[in-house]
Structure 1
Amino acid sequence: MSEKRHQVSRRQFLNYTLTGVGGFMAAGMLMPMVRFALDPVLRPTENQEMVQVVSVDELTEEPQRFDFKINQVDAWYESEESRSAWVYKNGDKVTALSPICKHLGCTVNWNSDPKNKNMFFCPCHYGLYEKDGTNVPGTPPLGPLDHYEHEIRDGFLYLGKAKPKGAG
Protein backbone atom coordinates (compact mmCIF):
# COMPACT_ATOMS: atom_id res chain seq x y z
CA MET A 1 0.00 0.00 0.00
CA SER A 2 1.25 3.31 -0.85
CA GLU A 3 0.73 6.03 1.64
CA LYS A 4 0.35 9.51 0.30
CA ARG A 5 1.95 11.95 2.54
CA HIS A 6 0.52 15.38 2.39
CA GLN A 7 3.35 17.77 2.77
CA VAL A 8 2.91 21.45 3.38
CA SER A 9 5.22 23.63 1.42
CA ARG A 10 7.11 26.44 3.04
CA ARG A 11 4.97 28.98 1.23
CA GLN A 12 1.71 27.37 2.44
CA PHE A 13 3.02 27.17 5.99
CA LEU A 14 3.89 30.87 6.03
CA ASN A 15 0.53 31.73 4.43
CA TYR A 16 -1.41 29.76 7.11
CA THR A 17 0.68 31.19 9.92
CA LEU A 18 0.41 34.80 8.81
CA THR A 19 -3.34 34.45 8.16
CA GLY A 20 -3.88 33.00 11.65
CA VAL A 21 -1.74 35.65 13.36
CA GLY A 22 -3.39 38.45 11.33
CA GLY A 23 -6.87 37.16 12.19
CA PHE A 24 -5.95 36.93 15.88
CA MET A 25 -4.61 40.51 15.85
CA ALA A 26 -7.69 41.81 13.98
CA ALA A 27 -9.99 40.12 16.52
CA GLY A 28 -7.95 41.68 19.33
CA MET A 29 -8.45 45.14 17.84
CA LEU A 30 -12.14 44.70 16.95
CA MET A 31 -13.36 43.17 20.22
CA PRO A 32 -12.97 46.38 22.30
CA MET A 33 -14.79 48.35 19.60
CA VAL A 34 -17.66 45.84 19.49
CA ARG A 35 -17.82 45.80 23.29
CA PHE A 36 -17.87 49.62 23.37
CA ALA A 37 -20.75 49.70 20.86
CA LEU A 38 -22.86 46.98 22.48
CA ASP A 39 -22.24 47.64 26.18
CA PRO A 40 -24.87 50.41 26.56
CA VAL A 41 -27.45 48.24 24.80
CA LEU A 42 -26.78 45.21 26.99
CA ARG A 43 -26.63 47.15 30.26
CA PRO A 44 -29.89 46.99 32.24
CA THR A 45 -31.74 50.29 32.35
CA GLU A 46 -31.80 52.05 35.67
CA ASN A 47 -35.12 53.02 37.14
CA GLN A 48 -35.56 56.75 37.24
CA GLU A 49 -36.22 58.12 40.68
CA MET A 50 -39.51 59.85 41.33
CA VAL A 51 -39.09 63.64 41.34
CA GLN A 52 -41.21 66.03 43.39
CA VAL A 53 -43.02 68.34 40.98
CA VAL A 54 -45.92 70.20 42.60
CA SER A 55 -48.23 70.34 45.58
CA VAL A 56 -51.45 68.45 44.91
CA ASP A 57 -53.39 71.50 46.17
CA GLU A 58 -52.22 73.46 43.10
CA LEU A 59 -53.69 70.97 40.62
CA THR A 60 -56.93 71.84 38.83
CA GLU A 61 -59.23 70.14 36.34
CA GLU A 62 -57.64 72.28 33.62
CA PRO A 63 -54.29 70.81 32.43
CA GLN A 64 -51.32 72.87 33.61
CA ARG A 65 -47.74 72.60 32.43
CA PHE A 66 -45.13 71.93 35.11
CA ASP A 67 -41.39 71.91 34.47
CA PHE A 68 -39.02 69.80 36.55
CA LYS A 69 -35.49 68.42 36.39
CA ILE A 70 -34.14 64.90 36.67
CA ASN A 71 -30.61 63.69 37.32
CA GLN A 72 -29.31 61.76 34.36
CA VAL A 73 -26.17 59.62 34.22
CA ASP A 74 -24.79 58.94 30.75
CA ALA A 75 -21.75 56.67 31.09
CA TRP A 76 -19.38 58.84 33.12
CA TYR A 77 -21.23 62.15 32.59
CA GLU A 78 -23.86 63.22 35.12
CA SER A 79 -26.23 66.07 34.32
CA GLU A 80 -29.61 67.60 35.08
CA GLU A 81 -32.15 67.31 32.30
CA SER A 82 -35.25 69.50 32.06
CA ARG A 83 -38.60 67.82 31.58
CA SER A 84 -42.20 69.02 31.37
CA ALA A 85 -45.57 67.48 32.08
CA TRP A 86 -49.19 68.44 31.53
CA VAL A 87 -50.93 67.61 34.80
CA TYR A 88 -54.58 67.78 35.83
CA LYS A 89 -56.89 66.04 38.22
CA ASN A 90 -60.34 64.64 37.73
CA GLY A 91 -61.82 64.15 41.20
CA ASP A 92 -59.13 62.26 43.11
CA LYS A 93 -57.49 60.87 39.98
CA VAL A 94 -54.35 62.67 38.79
CA THR A 95 -53.19 62.44 35.17
CA ALA A 96 -49.69 63.48 34.07
CA LEU A 97 -49.02 63.56 30.33
CA SER A 98 -45.81 64.00 28.38
CA PRO A 99 -45.85 67.08 26.13
CA ILE A 100 -43.98 65.25 23.35
CA CYS A 101 -46.10 64.66 20.23
CA LYS A 102 -46.04 61.06 19.00
CA HIS A 103 -45.84 62.18 15.38
CA LEU A 104 -42.44 63.88 15.13
CA GLY A 105 -41.57 64.86 18.69
CA CYS A 106 -42.76 68.47 18.74
CA THR A 107 -44.20 69.95 21.92
CA VAL A 108 -47.97 69.99 22.35
CA ASN A 109 -49.87 72.80 24.07
CA TRP A 110 -53.21 72.79 25.84
CA ASN A 111 -56.06 74.82 24.36
CA SER A 112 -53.79 76.80 22.00
CA ASP A 113 -55.74 76.24 18.75
CA PRO A 114 -58.81 78.53 18.44
CA LYS A 115 -60.54 75.98 16.16
CA ASN A 116 -60.15 73.09 18.63
CA LYS A 117 -61.00 74.18 22.15
CA ASN A 118 -60.06 72.06 25.18
CA MET A 119 -57.64 69.85 23.26
CA PHE A 120 -53.90 69.36 23.11
CA PHE A 121 -52.57 70.83 19.87
CA CYS A 122 -49.27 70.21 18.10
CA PRO A 123 -48.42 73.23 15.94
CA CYS A 124 -45.85 71.39 13.80
CA HIS A 125 -48.32 69.36 11.73
CA TYR A 126 -51.66 70.19 13.34
CA GLY A 127 -51.85 67.11 15.52
CA LEU A 128 -54.71 66.89 18.02
CA TYR A 129 -55.14 64.99 21.28
CA GLU A 130 -58.11 64.71 23.63
CA LYS A 131 -57.75 65.89 27.23
CA ASP A 132 -56.82 62.35 28.36
CA GLY A 133 -53.98 62.24 25.78
CA THR A 134 -55.77 60.08 23.21
CA ASN A 135 -54.87 61.01 19.62
CA VAL A 136 -57.70 62.25 17.42
CA PRO A 137 -58.22 59.99 14.36
CA GLY A 138 -57.48 61.68 11.06
CA THR A 139 -54.68 63.84 12.49
CA PRO A 140 -50.95 63.06 12.11
CA PRO A 141 -50.20 61.47 15.55
CA LEU A 142 -50.48 57.69 15.36
CA GLY A 143 -50.61 57.10 19.10
CA PRO A 144 -51.64 58.70 22.39
CA LEU A 145 -49.38 60.90 24.51
CA ASP A 146 -47.17 59.08 27.00
CA HIS A 147 -48.27 59.04 30.64
CA TYR A 148 -45.83 59.71 33.46
CA GLU A 149 -45.57 57.23 36.30
CA HIS A 150 -46.73 59.17 39.31
CA GLU A 151 -47.46 58.91 43.00
CA ILE A 152 -48.69 61.23 45.70
CA ARG A 153 -46.69 61.44 48.93
CA ASP A 154 -47.14 63.92 51.76
CA GLY A 155 -49.41 66.12 49.63
CA PHE A 156 -46.96 66.39 46.72
CA LEU A 157 -47.05 64.89 43.23
CA TYR A 158 -43.97 62.88 42.26
CA LEU A 159 -43.31 61.98 38.62
CA GLY A 160 -41.16 59.18 37.26
CA LYS A 161 -40.61 57.90 33.76
CA ALA A 162 -42.97 58.61 30.83
CA LYS A 163 -44.42 55.44 29.33
CA PRO A 164 -46.84 54.74 26.50
CA LYS A 165 -50.47 54.66 27.57
CA GLY A 166 -51.40 51.27 28.92
CA ALA A 167 -47.78 50.16 29.47
CA GLY A 168 -47.07 48.79 32.94
Structure 2
Amino acid sequence: MGKKVSRRQFLTYTLGSTAGFLASGMLFPMVRFAVDPVLKKGGSAKYVDVNLPISQITQEPKAVQFVIHRKDGWYEPENGESLTAWVMKDESGNVRALSPVCKHLGCTVNWNSNPQYKNQFFCPCHFGRYEKDGTNVPGTPPTKPLDKYKTKIANGRLLIGPVES
Protein backbone atom coordinates (compact mmCIF):
# COMPACT_ATOMS: atom_id res chain seq x y z
CA MET A 1 0.00 0.00 0.00
CA GLY A 2 1.05 3.58 -0.71
CA LYS A 3 1.91 6.27 1.73
CA LYS A 4 -1.06 7.86 3.48
CA VAL A 5 -1.67 11.60 3.23
CA SER A 6 -2.13 13.35 6.55
CA ARG A 7 -4.81 15.93 7.11
CA ARG A 8 -2.17 18.67 7.25
CA GLN A 9 -0.69 17.60 3.88
CA PHE A 10 -4.15 17.37 2.32
CA LEU A 11 -5.00 20.87 3.52
CA THR A 12 -1.63 22.21 2.28
CA TYR A 13 -2.13 20.67 -1.18
CA THR A 14 -5.73 21.91 -1.40
CA LEU A 15 -4.90 25.47 -0.34
CA GLY A 16 -1.82 25.57 -2.58
CA SER A 17 -3.79 24.37 -5.58
CA THR A 18 -6.56 26.90 -4.93
CA ALA A 19 -4.06 29.74 -4.53
CA GLY A 20 -2.30 28.72 -7.76
CA PHE A 21 -5.59 28.60 -9.64
CA LEU A 22 -6.60 32.07 -8.38
CA ALA A 23 -3.16 33.51 -9.13
CA SER A 24 -3.21 32.16 -12.68
CA GLY A 25 -6.65 33.73 -13.16
CA MET A 26 -5.21 37.09 -12.13
CA LEU A 27 -1.98 36.78 -14.12
CA PHE A 28 -3.50 35.51 -17.38
CA PRO A 29 -4.94 38.90 -18.48
CA MET A 30 -1.62 40.62 -17.71
CA VAL A 31 0.38 38.06 -19.69
CA ARG A 32 -2.08 38.23 -22.58
CA PHE A 33 -1.87 42.03 -22.58
CA ALA A 34 1.93 41.81 -22.87
CA VAL A 35 2.06 39.00 -25.44
CA ASP A 36 -0.84 39.93 -27.76
CA PRO A 37 0.96 42.69 -29.68
CA VAL A 38 3.83 40.31 -30.40
CA LEU A 39 1.54 37.59 -31.74
CA LYS A 40 -0.74 39.90 -33.72
CA LYS A 41 -0.35 39.76 -37.48
CA GLY A 42 1.44 42.84 -38.73
CA GLY A 43 -0.70 44.94 -40.99
CA SER A 44 0.85 45.86 -44.25
CA ALA A 45 1.89 49.47 -44.45
CA LYS A 46 -0.67 50.99 -46.78
CA TYR A 47 -0.05 54.16 -48.71
CA VAL A 48 -2.90 56.57 -49.39
CA ASP A 49 -3.24 58.67 -52.53
CA VAL A 50 -3.73 62.23 -51.25
CA ASN A 51 -4.90 63.49 -54.65
CA LEU A 52 -1.96 65.88 -55.01
CA PRO A 53 0.18 65.98 -58.15
CA ILE A 54 3.91 66.26 -57.49
CA SER A 55 3.99 69.39 -59.66
CA GLN A 56 1.91 71.22 -57.02
CA ILE A 57 4.33 70.49 -54.18
CA THR A 58 6.74 73.35 -53.48
CA GLN A 59 9.21 74.24 -50.75
CA GLU A 60 6.40 76.07 -48.93
CA PRO A 61 4.58 73.67 -46.53
CA LYS A 62 1.03 72.91 -47.60
CA ALA A 63 -1.63 71.21 -45.44
CA VAL A 64 -3.02 68.09 -47.12
CA GLN A 65 -5.95 66.10 -45.76
CA PHE A 66 -6.38 62.38 -46.40
CA VAL A 67 -8.49 59.52 -45.08
CA ILE A 68 -7.23 56.22 -43.72
CA HIS A 69 -9.16 53.14 -42.65
CA ARG A 70 -7.94 51.49 -39.47
CA LYS A 71 -9.42 49.74 -36.50
CA ASP A 72 -8.69 51.29 -33.12
CA GLY A 73 -9.56 48.69 -30.50
CA TRP A 74 -13.18 47.88 -31.28
CA TYR A 75 -13.87 51.19 -33.04
CA GLU A 76 -13.57 51.49 -36.80
CA PRO A 77 -15.11 54.64 -38.32
CA GLU A 78 -17.35 53.76 -41.26
CA ASN A 79 -15.99 56.54 -43.50
CA GLY A 80 -12.42 56.27 -42.24
CA GLU A 81 -10.35 58.64 -40.15
CA SER A 82 -9.40 62.04 -41.52
CA LEU A 83 -5.75 63.02 -41.02
CA THR A 84 -3.63 65.97 -42.08
CA ALA A 85 0.00 66.25 -43.15
CA TRP A 86 2.22 69.22 -43.91
CA VAL A 87 3.72 68.44 -47.32
CA MET A 88 6.73 70.18 -48.90
CA LYS A 89 9.93 69.62 -50.84
CA ASP A 90 13.22 69.93 -49.00
CA GLU A 91 16.34 71.67 -50.37
CA SER A 92 17.35 68.58 -52.35
CA GLY A 93 13.89 68.23 -53.94
CA ASN A 94 12.74 65.25 -51.88
CA VAL A 95 9.13 65.26 -50.75
CA ARG A 96 8.59 65.43 -47.00
CA ALA A 97 5.32 64.94 -45.10
CA LEU A 98 5.13 65.98 -41.44
CA SER A 99 2.45 65.26 -38.88
CA PRO A 100 0.76 68.41 -37.54
CA VAL A 101 0.52 66.97 -34.01
CA CYS A 102 2.75 68.77 -31.50
CA LYS A 103 4.96 66.40 -29.51
CA HIS A 104 4.43 68.41 -26.33
CA LEU A 105 0.73 67.88 -25.61
CA GLY A 106 -0.80 66.85 -28.93
CA CYS A 107 -2.13 70.21 -30.13
CA THR A 108 -2.11 71.08 -33.84
CA VAL A 109 0.80 73.06 -35.24
CA ASN A 110 0.42 75.52 -38.11
CA TRP A 111 2.93 76.91 -40.57
CA ASN A 112 3.72 80.64 -40.37
CA SER A 113 0.73 81.28 -38.09
CA ASN A 114 2.56 83.54 -35.63
CA PRO A 115 4.05 86.76 -37.08
CA GLN A 116 6.73 86.69 -34.35
CA TYR A 117 8.14 83.37 -35.62
CA LYS A 118 8.33 83.52 -39.39
CA ASN A 119 9.00 80.34 -41.37
CA GLN A 120 8.36 78.06 -38.41
CA PHE A 121 5.64 75.67 -37.32
CA PHE A 122 3.93 77.14 -34.26
CA CYS A 123 1.82 75.43 -31.60
CA PRO A 124 -0.58 77.93 -30.01
CA CYS A 125 -1.27 75.78 -26.92
CA HIS A 126 2.04 76.32 -25.15
CA PHE A 127 4.05 78.30 -27.70
CA GLY A 128 5.93 75.32 -29.07
CA ARG A 129 7.99 75.92 -32.20
CA TYR A 130 9.46 73.72 -34.91
CA GLU A 131 11.80 74.46 -37.78
CA LYS A 132 10.68 73.85 -41.36
CA ASP A 133 12.25 70.36 -41.34
CA GLY A 134 10.18 69.41 -38.27
CA THR A 135 12.94 69.64 -35.66
CA ASN A 136 11.93 71.31 -32.43
CA VAL A 137 13.38 74.71 -31.52
CA PRO A 138 15.54 74.34 -28.38
CA GLY A 139 14.13 76.09 -25.32
CA THR A 140 10.50 75.62 -26.37
CA PRO A 141 8.12 73.06 -24.82
CA PRO A 142 8.38 70.23 -27.41
CA THR A 143 11.24 67.87 -26.65
CA LYS A 144 10.97 65.83 -29.85
CA PRO A 145 10.66 66.64 -33.56
CA LEU A 146 7.39 66.30 -35.47
CA ASP A 147 6.60 62.81 -36.75
CA LYS A 148 7.38 62.17 -40.42
CA TYR A 149 5.13 60.17 -42.69
CA LYS A 150 6.63 57.79 -45.23
CA THR A 151 6.03 59.03 -48.76
CA LYS A 152 5.99 57.48 -52.22
CA ILE A 153 5.42 58.87 -55.69
CA ALA A 154 3.29 56.89 -58.14
CA ASN A 155 1.98 58.09 -61.50
CA GLY A 156 3.07 61.64 -60.69
CA ARG A 157 1.01 61.74 -57.49
CA LEU A 158 1.94 61.76 -53.83
CA LEU A 159 1.16 58.76 -51.65
CA ILE A 160 1.44 59.05 -47.86
CA GLY A 161 2.12 56.01 -45.70
CA PRO A 162 2.50 55.34 -41.99
CA VAL A 163 4.63 57.37 -39.61
CA GLU A 164 8.33 56.51 -39.89
CA SER A 165 9.70 54.73 -36.86
Fold-level match, TM-score > 0.5?
yes
**1:43–1:154 Cα change, 3 Å:** same
**1:30–1:121 Cα change, 3 Å:** same
**Quick check: 104-113 or 17-26, which moved more?**
17-26
Structure 2 match to 1:94: 95
Q: State yes or no: 1:33 paired with 2:34.
A: no
**Inter-partner Cα distance in structure 1 for 2:124 and 2:73:** 35
1:60-104, Cα deviation, whole Å (9 max, x unpaired): 221111111111134565442221100012463211111111111
The one-letter amino acid of 1:33's match is P
1:7-41, Cα deviation, whole Å (9 max, x unpaired): 8632x133123213313432553354235422433
Matches within 5 A, 1:54-73: 54-73=52-71
Give the deviation of 1:118 after TM superposition: 1.4
**Inter-partner Cα distance in structure 1 for 2:96 and 2:107:** 20
Structure with the greater alpha carbon radius of gyration:
1
Matches within 5 A, 1:55-134: 55-74=53-72, 77-79=75-77, 80-90=80-90, 92-134=93-135
Structure 1 portions without partners, runs of 5+: 1-5
**Inter-partner Cα distance in structure 2 for 1:106 and 1:50:** 25
The one-letter amino acid of 2:53's match is S
Q: Which runs of 4+ in 1 moved over 3 A?
A: 6-9, 74-79
1:90-148, Cα deviation, whole Å (9 max, x unpaired): 46321111111111111100010011111100001111111111211121111211111
Q: Give the number of aligned pairs.
A: 158
Give the TM-score taking structure 2 as reference length.
Answer: 0.81
Structure 2 portions without partners, runs of 5+: none
Q: Report SS of the residue matched to 1:137.
A: coil
Seq. identity, %: 44
Q: State yes or no: 1:14 paired with 2:13.
A: no
